């Protein structure tokens, strides 16, 4: 395994994070962690200039692991995976640390405690990032066939729809004939049409 060269990027998220957490102090703390070769802050890393800053740092400092301390990964983790992939790194070399919802939103009244917690989360993120491994992509052939269990109206309709899409369909019914409950009815409401 190559020696980890970690870059830490702490986002202000406008004032959402920086209004509560001392991001510059977190940056200084992160820059001294084992394996970290570069740390910086920026108002919005999710912006195009913010992503460009990450890409430039990856190239300039030969970074091979990235820690982004920002808002929720639910929204922006895919953004940063694409960002580092465009810079030539595996997208799996990203560790995302949520210091907005997990820190600034829950410690609004205590800047010192928020900053300390952000430092601890970033330190944990750096340690995890140093152990990240690439996950190779595989292409697997898919057999375009499916099994439908139940030959009632829903099963029959599903079989017809999937068959129309080019799937080979296997329809399994436990009774002697298909049709389900519908086959037991003589007439249907409201028109009194024949059920079959």
Q: What is the pLDDT along the chain (196 residues), one digit of tens a residue?
A: 579 999 999 999 989 999 999 999 999 999 999 999 999 999 999 999 999 999 999 999 999 999 999 998 998 999 999 999 999 999 999 999 999 999 999 999 999 999 999 999 999 999 999 999 998 888 999 899 999 999 988 999 999 999 999 999 999 999 888 877 777 666 666 776 665 5
Same domain flag for 79 and 172: no
Domain co-membership, 111 together with 185? no
Residues 6+ apart with CB under 8 A from 67: 6, 7, 8, 9, 30, 94, 95, 96, 97, 122, 125, 126, 129
Q: What angle do CA 185, 186, 190 make, to 5 degrees?
A: 85
**Crossing angle for the helix pair 48-60 and 73-86, nearest 10 degrees?**
50
The verdict on residue 140 lying in a domain is no
Domain count, the chain: 2
Shared domain for 109 and 49, answered yes or no, is: yes
* Full domain range(s) for residue 60: 6-130
The partner residues of 36 in beta bridges, in order of sequence, read 6
Residues 81 and 154 in one domain: no
Label the pairing between strands 193-194 and 187-188: antiparallel
- Summarize pLDDT for 71-88 with one digit per residue, the tens: 989 989 999 999 999 999
């Amino acid at each position: 395994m190559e020696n980890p060269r970690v870059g830490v990027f702490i986002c202000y998220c406008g004032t959402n994070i920086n209004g509560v957490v001392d991001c510059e102090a977190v940056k200084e703390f992160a820059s001294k962690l084992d394996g970290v070769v570069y740390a910086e802050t920026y108002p919005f890393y999710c912006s195009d200039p913010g992503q460009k800053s990450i890409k430039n740092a990856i190239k300039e400092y030969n970074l091979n692991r990235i820690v982004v301390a920002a808002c929720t990964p639910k929204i922006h983790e895919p953004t940063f995976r694409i960002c580092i992939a465009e810079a030539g790194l595996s997208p799996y070399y990203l560790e995302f640390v949520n210091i907005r919802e997990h820190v600034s939103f829950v410690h609004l009244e205590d800047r010192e405690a928020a900053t300390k917690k952000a430092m601890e989360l970033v330190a944990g993120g750096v340690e995890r990032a140093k152990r990240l491994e690439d996950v190779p992509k595989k292409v697997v052939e898919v057999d375009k066939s499916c099994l439908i269990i139940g030959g009632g109206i829903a099963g029959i309709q599903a079989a017809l729809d999937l068959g129309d899409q080019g799937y080979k369909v296997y329809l399994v019914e436990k009774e002697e004939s298909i049709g389900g409950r519908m086959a037991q009815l003589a007439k249907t409401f409201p028109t009194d049409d024949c059920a079959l």
